[in-house]
Structure 1
Amino acid sequence: MTGDPRTRHVVVMGVSGSGKSTVAKGIGTVAGLRFAEADEFHSAANIAMMRVGVPLGDADRWPWLRDLAAWLADRSAEGVSTVLACSALKRSYRDALRQGQPAVEFVHLDGPAEVIRARMSGRTGHYMPPSLLDSQIATLEPLQPDERGVVLDASMTPDELIAAALSRLRLGSGHERHMDQAQPSI
């Protein structure tokens, strides 16, 4: 699938509690991209497992990733640019997302475990318990040099992260529609 070359597709990635949803919503609002929360695509069984502190395995994630890739492909076919808040912890998961839209750009929110754990402990209404943070950190594979994207310090404020992502990806202010590969940096 190649999708509409006039669209942009951004995935804000990182472990739970890194700020993905807040930053992705902000990017979507400023740049006019359709926002989706990957957590809303999880099956009831996956949510039940996480709620009780059981980490998901690859077999649990593949149907979810296929659904996300299909969502990206459908929006691209409609000519709609998107921003998706999704953990995308492994290279293979990011490859699966690229099956829906090969030119996905990633914004990896990376930060100290203590900062992220504190955020997770302070939030309410989310099914992902802080006890699963260590399993997510162990699973996380950083962006590779051939992956389009940037790495930002999750310790920054949400407004700083949104501004940095918009600037680095050249979104939201009339910048070129497609960027050259950006080298990840913190």
Structure 2
Amino acid sequence: MTNKQAGFSFVELMLAVSLAGTLTAIAVPQAIQALDALRTRNAAHYLALRLADARIAAVKRSTFVGMRFEAIAADYRFSMVADGNGNGVRTADIQRGDDPVIAAPDMLAWHFEGVAFGLLSAIPDADGASSSSSDGVRVGSSGVISMNPNGSSSAGTIYVHGRGRAQYAVRVLGATGRVRVLRYDAARAVWVER
């Protein structure tokens, strides 16, 4: 009768644990980076969708509809407002209540953890110019992108980034009111449409 051992030796077990640990150490940072890039992309597309909704609302209502961006600490809250008195969407009218909020205020941080408004340092803006400002909302001094009933709008660019190096820009083209999402390709140092 032979005494055959079943199972693994201690050396085999330690080798397997070491191999699993090494693979995990390699895979986890890559997975975290990919998840961050995905969240940032989704946040940019979510913002683009909200801006497109404002454009559609302006056409449907036959009145000006704006997306207002308000600085809240280091973040922004955005809300959709309609022209209530026939003179366009104006900050003073919003504050007085003449231009009502027609969609609940929203923040990217409520939906996309780790995503913030802003332009990362050493990245040129979407026009290719170097920027001294990291401000993510570039829509003029009023903080409002106004959509016209004819489908056109005021122009603006909103930048969002994740915890890593994922950087996106959401652009509203004034003449057409169309919304575009751009991603910064760091390898080629260019903005590409997504």
Identify the TM-score tier after normalising by the shorter chain: under 0.3
Q: Which has the higher helix share?
A: 1
Asked which structure has the greater CA Rg, the reply is: 2
Question: What TM-score, normalized by structure 1, do the two folds share?
Answer: 0.27
